[in-house]
Amino acid sequence: MIYSLIRFWSVPYRLYRDGDAPVEKPSGFQVFREGFPPPEHVARAVARAYVEAFSGPPWFENWKEEEVLAKMEKDLRPPFRLVVMEGDEIHPVGGFCWGAVVRKEEVLPRIKESAELGEAEGEILGRLLEKRIRGEEVFFLDEIAILPPFRGGITPIQFLIRPLMEACVARGYREGVSWTHRDSTITYISRYAGFRVLSPSFGDKVVIYCGDCRPILKLLQNVDGEKIAALIRGVSKVLGIRRK
């Protein structure tokens, strides 16, 4: 039902190439990609933000800065996107998002390693992904987080995730995959971007899948964050959806 509404709202709009969208990227967001990697001081600032973001609920993880840097180096293989949202003097990085356009066969190993799934869970997930993924490539959202002082509204999420979707569509593909904690904000908000949770869940982890990111990308490129937030509130009210 939600995805049908997204498709309906997106009908009047068209897709644009990266950099040509009517809703321009605001200042305070930097996009890094193959050929334009993040300088070391930016990568380290992202790593510190990562450590802080995932030390709190619902994750309660204990990362070290060097571990995050090693993860970034492994994840950010071309064609990748790393989006960094500017913070303040205390938190130079207020939010971040990274991922890459990957081949279909890379999705399962990527999830198994990062989500620490066992062999039995991997076999179940592999069958689910085989049934769902139709194209040869998908965009894989590795990480997205916004530190508490900078949360609020749709604009941060809008401009953190949009570049990755644009990269995938530019290559002629449309599907997206990620995994997250079942109680995370992304699990809640992703349904409004056309993602669905693949069943079954794996403990406190869920895998989410979008079969066609083009409708939500149209909205992200053509509609400002306040209007998108109003649409989400309206849908939530009509369908009786409440965040846990």
- Where do the DSSP E strands lie in the chain? 29-33, 80-86, 93-103, 137-146, 176-181, 196-202, 205-210
At 243 the pLDDT is: 59
CA 196 to chain centre: 13
- Where do the DSSP E strands lie in 147-242? 176-181, 196-202, 205-210
Largest CA distance in the chain: 47
Rounded CA-CA distance 36/11 in Å is 34
What are the pLDDT digits (tens) for 34-62? Answer: 999 999 999 999 999 999 999 999 999 99
Query: Please, which residues have CB within 8 angstroms of residue 96's CB and are 6 or more apart in sequence?
Result: 46, 49, 50, 82, 83, 84, 85, 143, 144, 145, 160
Q: Which residues of the chain have pLDDT under 70?
A: 1, 238-244
Rounded CA-CA distance 3/215 in Å is 9
At 240 the pLDDT is: 64
At 147 the pLDDT is: 97
CATH code of 2-238, in short, is 3.40.630.30
In this structure, are residues 134 and 175 in contact, taking their beta carbons and an 8 Å threshold?
yes
At 104 the pLDDT is: 94
At 229 the pLDDT is: 87
Rounded CA-CA distance 212/221 in Å is 15
Rounded CA-CA distance 131/147 in Å is 36
At 201 the pLDDT is: 79
Query: Please, which residues have CB within 8 angstroms of residue 171's CB and are 6 or more apart in sequence?
Result: 79, 101, 137
